[in-house]
Chains A and B, each alone.
Chain A
Amino acid sequence: MSKSKPILTSSLGRKLVMSLTGLFLCSFLVIHLIGNFQLFANDEGYAFNNYAYFMTHFAPIKVVSYLLYASIVIHAVYALILTIQNKKARPVQYNQYDGKSNSAWNSRNMGILGTVLLVFIATHMQNFWWKYHNDQVPYIEYTKDLNTGTITSRELSASEFTDYLVTTDNGQEVTKARDLYKQVDFTFQNVGLVILYVVAMFALAFHLIHGFQSAFQTVGFNHRRYIGIIRFIGVWVFGVLIPIGFAAMPLYFYFIK
């Protein structure tokens, strides 16, 4: 047997890349959701805006965020390469193809679901990430009474804002921050975007119901001992809880706030 081809040029190697980037993106979703739950706090965005500053300025998190952007790109590019190969592998299509008799719809349409998610991610990053990094969000000043914990806020004009700043004086903590919370509120008054976000979360659910367990199958993790728990987490955590948690955010701002 002669020398084998390099791993990344093989079908299995490319699938390994899909699997690992996919699982990394899954782990991000958990963090993202937990952090964003602060949107539901009744504090005029105090916790959320402080969190947004932390997430964009703490060095280790910045490193991870670049890994994340890279993972999204790699996952999409490899998906494209694999899909093109897969199309080539069946140049003449069936006249009749009864896929539903042998496999789940979402497992056969990961590319379509993934494309929806890619469009969503681009829109989502434009809505918040881009605006936040390019000074296109409003500014806010919080005054927190450290004894009673009550928070009052007022909007700042661009001229009053220089940078994120926390000062404590006389038992009063004053925080000047970019008001991403307000931006979220504002964005989710747009019914079109609310619909896109909710539809995208359906796509996410179906993508991950297949994708999460599929990633484990690809890396060869499928022992009887834990395959049950992997399938359970894939369906109930990544397919149900997480998408519902995210979808609740635009719905909350549109209908309740």
Chain B
Amino acid sequence: MSGQMNLTLKVWRQKKENQKGQFVTYKANNISDDMSFLEMLDVVNEEITRKGEDPIYFDHDCREGICGMCSLVINGRPHGPKYGTTTCQLHMRSFHDGQTIVIEPWRAAAFPVLKDLAVDRTAFDRIQQAGGYVNVNTGGVPDANTIPIPKRIADEAFESATCIGCGACVAACKNASAMLFVSAKVSQFALLPQGQTERYERAQAMVDQMDAEGFGNCTNTGACEAECPVGIKLTNIARLNREYFTAKLFRQEDIHN
């Protein structure tokens, strides 16, 4: 039998970008502990809407932990109190009756608040566009498995490719650094044969864009790895460092000019 709980929410409300926001307190009553965190917010929003007020604005899409749209810093933790989960996959049984829950947006200069709890994460898109792609020749479709890739490499590349671009790493980092995200994107291509053509340019271009967006500098605290919902590892950051330094110090094309 599922329990019911009554909660107090302190939610960040902000009309639009560059406006002052503040915390507003809401009651969330008769919440089933089988609900997801976002469903709980839906219930609260219905109540708010019924009163004719502006509902709480928050990002979500798939609600099954694969799209990376949901966010929220819940009681000081991105995606809430559980490790390895997104907010949409967080259940209310992780909370207890009578608890006060503080809900804030991702906080980073590079992720400006659009409204309430939703932030603009297009900085990540621009980093991707700077180098997170591979050039593919036109022509007929090649046969599957014509390029041999050792299983271990394929697995590692796959692990890196599971990054859903949610930005929890930035939100968790005391420096608002995007290194875990960028390292996952660089790794996935650096490991595979298809990614070799742009390998060293990619590392440089994506790091440049990351810096230009105003993310902070990584100090290896490991907060990102701990909070990443899909378990992207710090080894990716070391790999990004290697890629970048190799590019800069040993591979830069105009080195002899």
Residues of chain A at the chain B interface (Cβ within 8 Å): 1-5, 7, 10-16, 82, 85-86, 88-99, 101-104, 107-108, 110, 210, 213-214, 217-222
Instruction: Report the nearest B residue to A7, measured CB to CB.
Output: B248
Report which of A88, A93, A220 forms a contact with B241, defined as CB distance below 8 A.
Answer: A220
Does A107 contact B208, Cβ atoms closer than 8 Å? no
Bound: A5/B244 CA distance, A: 12
Instruction: Report the nearest B residue to A8, measured CB to CB.
Output: B248
Known contacts: A1-B201, A5-B208, A221-B238. The answer to whether A89 contacts B221 by CB under 8 A is no
Does A96 contact B76, Cβ atoms closer than 8 Å? yes
Bound: A220/B249 CA distance, A: 14
Report which of A15, A103, A108 forms a contact with B217, defined as CB distance below 8 A.
Answer: A15
Q: Which of A4, A89, A99, A219 has the most C-beta atoms of chain B within 10 angstroms of its own C-beta?
A: A89
Does B198 contact A96, Cβ atoms closer than 8 Å? no
Question: How far, in Å, is B235 (CB) from chain A's closest CB?
Answer: 6
Does B176 contact A90, Cβ atoms closer than 8 Å? yes
Question: How far, in Å, is B78 (CB) from chain A's closest CB?
Answer: 9
Question: How far, in Å, is B23 (CB) from chain A's closest CB?
Answer: 7
Contact pattern, B 232-243, Cβ under 8 Å of A = 1, otherwise 0: 001101111110
Residues of A within 8 A of B12 (CB): 95
| Interface: B5 (CB within 8 A) | no
Report which of B108, B204, B226 forms a contact with A102, defined as CB distance below 8 A.
Answer: B226
CB within 8 Å of A: which B13-47 residues: 23
Question: How far, in Å, is B109 (CB) from chain A's closest CB?
Answer: 5
Known contacts: A91-B109, A217-B237, A221-B238. The answer to whether A99 contacts B223 by CB under 8 A is yes
Bound: A222/B220 CA distance, A: 12
Instruction: Report the nearest B residue to A110, measured CB to CB.
Output: B219
Residues of A within 8 A of B177 (CB): 11, 86, 89
| Interface Cβ pair total, 8 Å cutoff | 150
Report which of B208, B214, B226 forms a contact with A10, defined as CB distance below 8 A.
Answer: B208
Residues of B within 8 A of A16 (CB): 245
Does B174 contact A99, Cβ atoms closer than 8 Å? yes
| Interface: B184 (CB within 8 A) | no
25 A-B pairs whose Cβ atoms sit less than 8 Å apart in the complex: A1-B202, A4-B252, A7-B249, A10-B211, A11-B211, A11-B215, A11-B217, A12-B207, A12-B240, A15-B217, A15-B241, A88-B214, A89-B108, A94-B73, A98-B75, A101-B77, A102-B222, A102-B226, A104-B222, A210-B220, A217-B234, A217-B238, A218-B241, A220-B245, A222-B234
Does B198 contact A94, Cβ atoms closer than 8 Å? no
| Interface: B110 (CB within 8 A) | yes
Does B174 contact A12, Cβ atoms closer than 8 Å? no
Does B75 contact A96, Cβ atoms closer than 8 Å? yes
Does B218 contact A11, Cβ atoms closer than 8 Å? yes
Question: How far, in Å, is A14 (CB) from chain B's closest CB?
Answer: 7
| Interface: B104 (CB within 8 A) | yes
Does A90 contact B216, Cβ atoms closer than 8 Å? yes
| Interface: B192 (CB within 8 A) | no
Does B104 contact A86, Cβ atoms closer than 8 Å? no
Bound: A92/B23 CA distance, A: 13
Question: How far, in Å, is B178 (CB) from chain A's closest CB?
Answer: 9
Q: Which of A90, A95, A210, A213 has the most C-beta atoms of chain B within 10 angstroms of its own C-beta?
A: A90
Residues of B within 8 A of A222 (CB): 234-235, 238
Does A104 contact B221, Cβ atoms closer than 8 Å? yes
Residues of B within 8 A of A14 (CB): 217
Instruction: Report the nearest A residue to B78, measured CB to CB.
Output: A102
Residues of B within 8 A of A94 (CB): 73, 76, 104, 107
* The 5 A-B residue pairs with the shortest CB-CB distance in the complex, in nearest-first order: A98-B76, A89-B216, A220-B242, A102-B226, A96-B76
Bound: A220/B205 CA distance, A: 18
Does B211 contact A1, Cβ atoms closer than 8 Å? no
Does B241 contact A96, Cβ atoms closer than 8 Å? no
Known contacts: A89-B110, A89-B176. The answer to whether A107 contacts B219 by CB under 8 A is yes
Does B217 contact A90, Cβ atoms closer than 8 Å? no
Bound: A211/B73 CA distance, A: 28
Does B77 contact A89, Cβ atoms closer than 8 Å? no
| Interface: B90 (CB within 8 A) | no
Residues of A within 8 A of B108 (CB): 89-90
Residues of A within 8 A of B217 (CB): 11, 14-15, 82, 85-86, 89
